[in-house]
Structure formats: C-alpha cells, structure tokens
Structure 1
C-alpha cells in the first residue's frame, strides 16, 4: 500500500515550518567561515534540520532520544568552535524535551542541554565580552524553562484525548446496553405474540377446506393479534430515546469544523410538535448527508436549512463541493436514506449543480397513526 510522504505531520499544519526560520541564524554565522570548516558547518546544519524533522515522527521509546542527542552534539560543536550565538539553536531541542512523558528521560535531557549550553560560554570566556553574558543569560533561562511549559501543555492535551476516548467508550457502552434492552423487550413482548400468529396461521391453513367458518374466525384472531404486535412495536419505539434535530445539529457542527468546512444554519431546529420518530429519522438523514459531504464533496461551505409547515418538515442540505457523478446518485448512502424515509412516507430529492443539494421532506402526520388506533 502506497504511503504518502509528509515533510512534517499533517495535523500540525504550518507550525513546524515557522520554526525553520531560526535555522538561518547559524547559516549566516557559518557563512563567515572559510574552506572545509564552512562546508562541515553547513553539513551539520543540514543534519540538524533533518533531526528536527525526524523528531516529529520518532517515538519516545524509539529513536527520539538518539535524534535529540545528535542535536545537542551539533549545538555544542557549532557554538564552541564556530559562533557562540549558535547556542540559540537549543530552543529547538528544548521544545522537544517537553515531549518526554518519562520523568527520568526528561530530567536527563534537560540537564544535558544545560551543560551543552553552559560549556561554550565557559570555554570561550576570552572571546565573549561581559556584556554578552548578560545578553545570553535571559534567553538561556527562558530556553531551559520552556520544556516545563511544553510538557504541561502536552500533558493537558493527552488528558483531553483520554477524556474524549473515555466519553466515546461510555457512548458505546450506553449503545450496547440499549441494544440489549431492546433485544430483551422484543423477546419478551413479541416472542409469544409472533409464535401465536404462526400457530394460528398453520391452523387456518388446515381449517380452510374443512371448516371455513372456523378458519375465518381464526383469521380475524390473527389480524387482531398482528395489530396488537404492531402496537407493541410502536410502544417499544416510543420508549427509545430519539435523537432530536437540535442535538444532531450540534454534532454536525463539530464534524464540519473538524473538516475545515464552514457551516451555516437557517430555520428553527426545535421543531415543536414534530413527533420523536420523525425527528429521529431527520437526524439520521442529516448525519448521513454531512458524512457524505465530509468524505466526498471537497466542499468549503455547507448550509443546513429547516422549513416547518403545517403538514410537513423539509430539511435542505447544500454544499459547494464537486457534486455527484451520475453513477453515484444511488451510492454514498443515498439509497439507504431513501429507504429509511419511505418508512414514514418521506421523500428525497438530489440536485447536483455547482455542488450538491439534498432535500428531505417528511409529513408530520403519518397515515399509520390512524391505523394504529383501529380495533
């Protein structure tokens, strides 16, 4: 499987590139040298830039420490034998020391960096003026303090990540428990009823030629029992927690923001008076449409509009992406969405011109409600 090359981790954006500006300082300092010394200096700066890149991909328990040690060696050579101002390259190393989660490795690396920064200042006392020491001191203090701040920030990010994972795990446990509850309820409430319908159907099959009147009576019983089963299913569905459109819109906004898609909303998401079942199916359609936009559309903007009339609700989702190809109109979950809408007599329209527009229309009053109340 082909793996795409990245100079720096994609999730960090331009952050790693900004720091590369400070590589020009040792390059300028090395330009003052001549011959082999200048060539070796440029080679070490190149290796330092390579180590800077590799440290973003190396793991703490892998080659991370080796690349970090290599940076310290290069900083010592360039600041001791070339120019003391190359000590400021230690800001690169200091930022990576903060990535250590192991406290012993963190302390050893910080002490090592302190020694690396101090030795050139000690060895070059004859060349460095007293005023220059006052110039170096505050920057070195900031450099040696920065790993603590970076470590604290990384620890906070890790805690947030673990919290998100824990919340996802809790959601999965809740879903699993809900599935088990539904399975138990279906077994307890419908198992006996469906078994009874099966037995009575077999009885009608035997009686239809021998005793038509009795068979007709049993057929009526089957109808009554099936209506009771339908009523039990609807009672079971009504007990389930439906996801409202307002709740789903909050989730949708997070999904679009994480995909760098600007979201707009128009209408009233509360949908007062709209049954839970209708809201639940609208929420599922909205989630499916947004998932398709994030995965396939390459859009930069997405608009969600809700229109509520007396007899129906319309949900319109549009984007400015590449649109749908002709052979994809039945794909990307649209077929499943249409089948789901057909259960409550809803409809789906797809328009793919300068992006894609999905229009979902659902009647508020469902015909089956009248049938449910029938004897």
Structure 2
C-alpha cells in the first residue's frame, strides 16, 4: 500500500505560507506579556487551533470545508478580541487573505460581511479603551486589512484569466498545427497521389513489355523518369511554400533561451548559407534548436559559441559549450539518446552527419554535403 508523505503546506506554494507564520509571534507575545493562569493556557490552545485553521485552509481551497475552517478562524479572532484584548484584531490579516480567494461573488460577499462584523464588534465592545492615542496606530492597519480581500481577489482573478488565456493560446496553436497537417496531407494527396499512381501503373507495364517489346519498354521507362522528376519538382514546390525554420530565426530564439539560462552566446559566420536548399536549411535549424535545448538542460555551461562554416563540399554547423561535457565511448562518440538519434535521422535525409566530442565542454559538429544538381534535371 502506497503511503502519502506529509506536507505542512502545499508544495507548489514554496516558502510563502511559512512567511505568514512570523505574525503568529505577536499574539503569543501578548499572551506571555499580559496573561497568567488559565487564560494563558486557553490562549495557547486557541493559537494552536488558529494555526490548524491556517494550514487547513490552504488544502481546502475550492472545497466545501473551506468556509467552516474560515468561520472557525474568525470565531477564534472574535474570542481573543472580546475575552482578551482588542490588539488581537490584527490577526484578521490571515482571514482577509483567505477571503480574497473566493471567486464566487455571493460567497465572497457573505464571508466579507462576517469578517467586517468580527472586526467591528470588538471595537464597539472596547470603545472606552481604544479611543486614545493607540487608535491612531491601529486604524490605518484596520483600513488596509478590510480592503485587502478586494485586492487579493482582483489579483487572483487576473492570474486565473492569464492562465485561461495561456490555455486558449495553446489550444489555438494546437488547432493551427492540426490544420497545417491536414493542409499538407491534402496537398500531398492532391499533388502526388495521381503522379505516384501513374508511376505504379507504368512500372507494371514496363514489367510486362520487357519480354514482348523492348523499345516500348524503354519508352515507358523514360516516361517513368520524367514523371518521377515532375513529382520531385512538386515536392520541392510544396516544401518551398511551407513555412520552414531558418538558422537566422533559430539563432535569435537561441539568444533568448540561453540568456534566460544565464548562458552567454557568441557566434560567427553567415547563418544564411549561400545556395542551401530549404530542406537542408530547415534540418540544420532543427539541429541547432536541439543542441541549444540540450545545453540549457544538461550542460551547466556559462558560455556557448555557434559557428557557421561553408566550404566547396559542405555546410557545417558547430555548437560549443564550456559545460560538464557528455559521456563518451571508446571511439569518441556519445551514446545515442532520443534527441540525438532524431537529429541523426533528420540529417540522414539530406546525406548529412553529426559528431559530438567532449573536451573542456561539448562540441557538436553537423555536416551537410553540398549536392550539385544536374543542370538538365534542374531545368526540367
């Protein structure tokens, strides 16, 4: 049977709930300074019970038990203020914070009216005691305390709206991606479906003509070549129409991501790469994105350097960091992981390759060969 670990407060709130506990020292100080006998011990019990209500309210948010715990907390404040001293009114700051959590107007109004009664009844009860110089000290805090539920409620409502907006934007983004996939699928089907079906039929015809009419078979084979070139041209047109990632855009994104991780980015060379096809450019951009993501997640580096190099035979992308490096095998290559494996698979589509070495950090070298397209084929 799985045991649930005990948490004093919800873990996602961090140290925030603990900071408020500092203010519980004030009622404890008042008890020690001014009370004796049974009132002192009952006061300790009520402070302990008040702490319990404080803790439980964090876990009861949005549940039916929230209001009973809130009501018990206000009752403790009322007993303290009437039975002990009006100085315990400032314990209402705890309750004011929790009242602001109500998003329902009716529930917020009900809790707020009860809170105002809890804070004003002791003032009337101790009227002969508090109408002195101490009132000038207490009154500003009372006004702030009575207004704070509205501020907290407004802040929480804004956070909720921002969260809903972020979720809506994410949903829109997913819908756009889904629609883009459908568009690409339709384009591929409409553009290449007929062409590929034609290639299939002609290849079957060539298979039958080989033993019957060799000249006709050669003619059909040439037709298949022309049709396949047309299909290749159609694919290139589709790719050029799609919005692909570019190295310039990815470099700008890398600056933002690395800066947020306190990693300094430097670069050299021209990220545009003269004459590089869209497909190869897109794959190199994805490799740069994957490399930057790995640096932020795993390297613990403070510096990152990106180089773009171009020679007569290849385009090169080099990404170097000064982090902890990566585990190597005996041949100097890293063990493949999912991200690196996917990077290598994408590079294989354009005849590229990658290598990662670890020496005073990590160096990723990506190479993509420059393929000289046959002039006649390009013109066709």
SS in 1 for 2:78: helix
CA distance in 2, matches of 1:256, 1:11: 26
Structure number, greater radius of gyration: 2
Determine whether 1:41 maps to 2:47. no
Post-superposition Cα deviations, 1:281-330, rounded to whole Å, max 9, x if no partner, equal 23323444455566x63x65565432122342424164746855879822
Aligned residues: 369
CA distance in 2, matches of 1:335, 1:173: 28
What pairs up with 1:355-374 in 2 under 5 angstroms? 357=362, 359-363=364-368, 366-367=370-371, 369-370=373-374, 373=378
TM-score (norm 2): 0.83
What residue in structure 1 maps to residue 308 of structure 2?
308
Q: Give the conservation status (yes or no) of the 8 Å contact 2:86–2:123.
A: yes
Structure 1 residues 244 and 17 mapped into 2: Cα distance closer, same or farther (>3 Å)?
A: farther
CA distance in 1, matches of 2:186, 2:242: 13
SS in 1 for 2:245: coil
What pairs up with 1:175-214 in 2 under 5 angstroms? 175-214=177-216
* C-alpha displacement of 1:16: 2.7
What residue in structure 1 maps to residue 228 of structure 2?
226
* C-alpha displacement of 1:177: 1.5
- RMSD over aligned CA atoms reads 3.3
CA distance in 2, matches of 1:250, 1:285: 14
CA distance in 1, matches of 2:295, 2:45: 47
TM-score (norm 1): 0.84
Structure 1 residues 289 and 14 mapped into 2: Cα distance closer, same or farther (>3 Å)?
A: farther
SS in 1 for 2:62: coil
CA distance in 1, matches of 2:252, 2:157: 28
SS in 2 for 1:267: strand
Post-superposition Cα deviations, 1:131-157, rounded to whole Å, max 9, x if no partner, equal 222221110101111112222222222
Structure 1 residues 90 and 219 mapped into 2: Cα distance closer, same or farther (>3 Å)?
A: same
Structure 1 residues 231 and 148 mapped into 2: Cα distance closer, same or farther (>3 Å)?
A: same
* C-alpha displacement of 1:358: 5.5
CA distance in 2, matches of 1:57, 1:289: 41
CA distance in 2, matches of 1:20, 1:88: 13
What residue in structure 2 maps to residue 65 of structure 1?
67
Structure 1: gaps of 5 or more residues: none
Q: Give the conservation status (yes or no) of the 8 Å contact 2:319–2:363.
A: yes
Structure 1 residues 65 and 264 mapped into 2: Cα distance closer, same or farther (>3 Å)?
A: farther
What residue in structure 2 maps to residue 16 of structure 1?
17
Determine whether 1:78 maps to 2:80. yes
Post-superposition Cα deviations, 1:103-162, rounded to whole Å, max 9, x if no partner, equal 111122222111111222222334445222222111010111111222222222222222
Structure 1 residues 204 and 175 mapped into 2: Cα distance closer, same or farther (>3 Å)?
A: same
What pairs up with 1:1-375 in 2 under 5 angstroms? 6-32=7-33, 33-128=35-130, 130-248=132-250, 261-267=261-267, 271-273=271-273, 275=276, 276-292=278-294, 297=298, 301=301, 303-311=303-311, 312-316=315-319, 318=321, 320=323, 323=326, 329-351=335-357, 357=362, 359-363=364-368, 366-367=370-371, 369-370=373-374, 373=378, 375=380
Q: Give the conservation status (yes or no) of the 8 Å contact 1:252–1:287.
A: yes
CA distance in 2, matches of 1:266, 1:215: 59
* C-alpha displacement of 1:54: 3.2
* C-alpha displacement of 1:239: 0.6
